Amino acid sequence: MTILADYLKQYSSNTAVNDVICTIAEVGKTINKLLQRGAFADILGEAGNQNVQGEDQKKLDVIANNLLLDALTQCTHCAGVASEELDDATPANQSGNLLVLFDPLDGSSNIDINMAVGTIFSILPYQRSGSPITNTDFLQNGEKQLAAGYLVYGPATMMAVTTGNGVAMFGYDPDKDAYLLIKDHVQIDADTKEYAINGSNYRHWQQPMQQYIDEVIAGKSGTRGKDFNTRWVAAMVGDVHRILCRGGVFMYPFDNKDPKKAGKLRLMYEANPMALLIEQAGGAATDATHRILTIEPNDIHQRVPVVLGSKNEVAYVQQLHESALKI
Ligand code: F6P
For 34-74, what is each residue's pLDDT tens digit?
999 988 888 888 888 887 777 788 889 999 999 999 999 99
For 125-134, what is each residue's pLDDT tens digit?
999 999 999 9
**Would you say the CB of residue 107 lies under 6 angstroms from ligand 1?**
yes
Query: 303: CA distance to ligand 1 center in Å?
Result: 12
Phi-psi region of 164 (alpha: psi -120 to 50; beta: other; left: phi over 0): left
For the chain, what is the mean pLDDT?
Answer: 95
Please name the residues in contact with 316: beta carbons below 8 A apart, sequence gap of 6 or more. Answer: 212
Instruction: Tell me the average pLDDT across 129-144.
Output: 96
Q: Which of 277, 276, 283, 281 is nearest to 190 (CA)?
A: 283
Query: 236: CA distance to ligand 1 center in Å?
Result: 6
Superfamily of domain 4-183: Fructose-1,6-Bisphosphatase, subunit A, domain 1 (3.30.540.10)
Sign of torsion over alpha carbons 123, 126, 131, 137: negative
pLDDT grade, residue 267 (50/70/90)?
very high
Query: 265: CA distance to ligand 1 center in Å?
Result: 7
pLDDT recorded at residue 45: 86
For 285-305, what is each residue's pLDDT tens digit?
999 999 999 999 999 999 999
**Would you say the CB of residue 306 lies under 6 angstroms from ligand 1?**
no
Using a 10 angstrom Cβ sphere, with 0-12 exposed, 13-18 middle and 19 or more buried, the burial of residue 172 is buried
Give the number of residues written for the chain.
327
Please name the residues in contact with 70: beta carbons below 8 A apart, sequence gap of 6 or more. Answer: none
Phi-psi region of 81 (alpha: psi -120 to 50; beta: other; left: phi over 0): beta
Please name the residues in contact with 37: beta carbons below 8 A apart, sequence gap of 6 or more. Answer: 43
Where do the H-state alpha helices sit in the chain? Answer: 4-11, 15-37, 59-73, 207-218, 236-246, 272-280, 311-326
Greater model confidence, 324 or 53: 324
For 208-230, what is each residue's pLDDT tens digit?
999 999 999 999 999 999 999 99
pLDDT grade, residue 327 (50/70/90)?
low
Domain regions of the chain by residue span: 4-183, 194-326
pLDDT recorded at residue 318: 98
Instruction: Tell me the average pLDDT across 154-168.
Output: 97
Q: How far apart are CA 285 and CA 293, in angstroms?
A: 8
Q: How far apart are CA 149 and CA 118, in angstroms?
A: 10
pLDDT of 235 over the 90 cut: yes
Instruction: Tell me the average pLDDT across 105-115.
Output: 94
Query: 107: CA distance to ligand 1 center in Å?
Result: 6
- Least confident segment among 54-58, 162-166, 240-244, 253-257: 54-58
Please name the residues in contact with 206: beta carbons below 8 A apart, sequence gap of 6 or more. Answer: 253, 254, 255, 256, 321, 324
Architecture of domain 194-326: 3-Layer(aba) Sandwich (3.40)
